[in-house]
């Protein structure tokens, strides 16, 4: 039996914790620092997820068998490298490998060198040069802050004036802070967005089921990008041919390309993709599980998650048989605070929260806080409501039915999660 230290904070980690608790290999989980939802069940540790030395000291002192890192920041700061110096077992990519998310500029240049399909792009470190370029660029384009911006750093613009204003906001006014010191300007890709995650030990790869995120705040995929307003899994219009293309031309090419650069990648690789007329193309990579994709993929995973994590941390994923999946589908709807992703109010009392797992419904907390016996809001995205059922429509119906029982002042959610599920995309060669 193992003791696990979990560097975590949000809804994605809430889901990972929930899944790890189901493992017969796990006896105890420490959450550092965790969130309100996780703290109900885990042994909370008052160490921040980016306090690398503090976490390493705790792991040594308490004889932790495996440390699991949820968010990207500690990975990009080199927590895996630090733990390995101390001979501590940890799940996640090294700092060099995590650059695939830490720097969009690096990721795009890497994709160009490794011939990984993606949109044409230009990189700029000076606002004046970027503005000069966009006046002759074909619109629309996507302007991305190169650094970490909590999923909000990509903005689609439709004319040169809007593009110039966006560049000014990112590079001069620093709306994303230092993440906007460098930007990527890329061609807008048309098609269906898709999320695919894969486990890897740097050589062996196990593909997870595909899911589809809903990034825009408004129904019909309108309004500004968010960290994700909902998702569903599996995706009915993605066939085996398309998944093979994604594995061979994107995931395998990326893992092997990073290995050639001395960036051995162990952990989960997340690929945000666009299914275009000429095949799947990469929008972005993440060096950790996706949110809200994790909330719909992991409830369908039958294989033992802790077993997978150990095999990857020890460098031999081939010890794990093919991943097993439960039948059916899952859907997640995110309940957000009014005004998100802009300014929003917090400290709103939440009603209707209880354990619905007997109905295969799960509440994954993110922006919540416990005050006495009451739950209150403490963030923009508050709770992810996930439901599992025989098919997607049944899962969606169950999730929305449960949402009717939950209330807080200013509660907002999209009522059209899964609206693209019936769109059929013909598989094309890359």
**Integer Cα distance of 184 and 169 in angstroms:** 14
CATH class entry, domain 192-319: alpha beta
CB atoms within 10 A of CB 230: 27
Helices and strands of the chain, counted as H and E runs: 14, 24
In the chain, list all ranges with CATH 3.30.470.20: 192-319
CATH: 3.60.21, 3.40.50, 3.30.1490, 3.40.1800. Which one for 126-181?
A: 3.30.1490
Kind of pairing between the strands at 2-8 and 26-33: parallel
Q: What local confidence, expressed as pLDDT, does residue 10 receive?
A: 63
**Residue 335 exposure: Cα atoms within 13 Å on the Cβ side:** 31
Q: Is the separation of the CB atoms in 251 and 205 below 8 Å?
A: yes
CB atoms within 10 A of CB 268: 23
**Integer Cα distance of 211 and 299 in angstroms:** 12
| pTM score of the predicted model | 0.93
Decide if domain 2-95 falls under CATH 3.40.50.20: yes
pLDDT in tens, the chain (430 residues): 899 999 876 668 889 989 999 999 999 999 998 777 776 667 888 899 899 999 999 999 999 999 999 999 999 999 999 999 999 999 999 999 999 999 999 999 999 999 999 999 999 999 999 999 999 999 999 999 999 987 778 999 999 999 999 999 999 999 999 999 999 999 999 999 999 999 999 999 999 999 999 999 999 999 988 989 999 999 999 999 999 999 999 999 999 999 999 999 999 999 999 999 999 999 999 999 999 999 999 999 999 999 999 999 999 999 999 999 999 999 999 999 999 999 999 999 999 998 888 889 999 998 999 898 899 999 999 999 999 999 999 999 999 999 999 999 999 999 999 999 976 544 444 3
Output the 3-class SS for 66-105: EEEECCHHHHHCCHHHHHHHCCCCEECCCHHHHHHHHCHH
Q: What local confidence, expressed as pLDDT, does residue 43 receive?
A: 83
* DSSP code for 234: S
**Integer Cα distance of 356 and 361 in angstroms:** 5
Could you tell me which CATH number the domain at 329-412 has?
Answer: 3.90.600.10
- Looking up tokens 């995120």 gives 213
Q: Is the separation of the CB atoms in 19 and 298 below 8 Å?
A: yes
In the chain, list all ranges with CATH 3.90.600.10: 329-412
In the chain, list all ranges with CATH 3.40.50.20: 2-95
């Amino acid at each position: 039996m193992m003791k696990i230290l979990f560097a975590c904070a949000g809804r994605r980690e809430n889901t990972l914790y929930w899944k790890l608790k189901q493992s017969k290999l796990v006896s105890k989980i420490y959450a550092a620092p965790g969130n309100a939802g996780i703290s109900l069940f885990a042994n909370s540790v008052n160490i921040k997820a980016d306090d690398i030395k503090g976490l390493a000291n705790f792991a040594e002192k308490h004889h932790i068998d495996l440390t699991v890192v949820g968010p990207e920041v500690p990975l990009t700061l080199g927590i895996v490298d630090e733990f390995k110096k101390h001979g501590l077992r940890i799940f996640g990519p090294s700092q060099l490998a995590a650059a695939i998310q830490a720097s969009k500029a690096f990721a795009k240049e890497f994709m160009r060198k490794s011939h990984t399909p993606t949109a044409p792009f230009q990189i700029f470190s000076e606002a004046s040069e970027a503005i000069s370029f966009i006046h002759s660029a074909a619109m629309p384009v996507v302007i991305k802050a190169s650094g970490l911006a909590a999923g909000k750093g990509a903005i689609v613009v439709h004319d040169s004036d809007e593009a110039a204003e966006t560049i000014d906001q990112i590079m001069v006014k620093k709306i994303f802070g230092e993440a906007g010191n460098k930007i990527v300007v890329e061609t807008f890709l048309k098609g269906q967005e898709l999320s695919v995650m894969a486990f890897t030990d740097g050589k062996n790869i196990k593909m997870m089921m595909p899911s589809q995120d809903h990034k825009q705040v408004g129904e019909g995929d309108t309004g500004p990008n968010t960290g994700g307003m909902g998702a569903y899994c599996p995706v009915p219009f993605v066939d085996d041919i398309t998944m093979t293309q994604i594995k061979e031309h994107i995931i395998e090419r990326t893992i092997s390309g990073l290995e050639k650069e001395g960036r051995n990648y162990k952990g989960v690789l997340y690929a945000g993709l666009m299914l275009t007329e000429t095949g799947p193309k990469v929008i972005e990579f993440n060096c950790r599980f996706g949110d809200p994709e994790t909330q719909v993929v992991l409830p369908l995973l039958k294989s033992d998650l802790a077993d997978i994590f150990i095999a990857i941390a020890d460098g031999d994923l081939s010890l794990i048989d093919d991943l097993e999946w439960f039948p059916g589908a899952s859907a997640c709807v995110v309940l957000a605070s009014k005004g998100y992703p802009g300014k929003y109010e917090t400290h709103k009392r939440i009603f209707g929260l209880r354990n619905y797992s007997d109905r295969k419904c799960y509440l994954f907390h993110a922006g919540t806080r416990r005050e006495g016996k009451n739950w209150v809001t403490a963030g923009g995205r508050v709770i992810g409501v996930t439901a599992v059922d025989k098919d997607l429509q049944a899962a969606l119906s169950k999730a929305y039915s449960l949402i009717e029982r939950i209330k807080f002042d200013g509660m907002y959610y999209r009522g059209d999660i899964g609206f693209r599920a019936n769109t059929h995309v013909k598989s094309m060669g890359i």
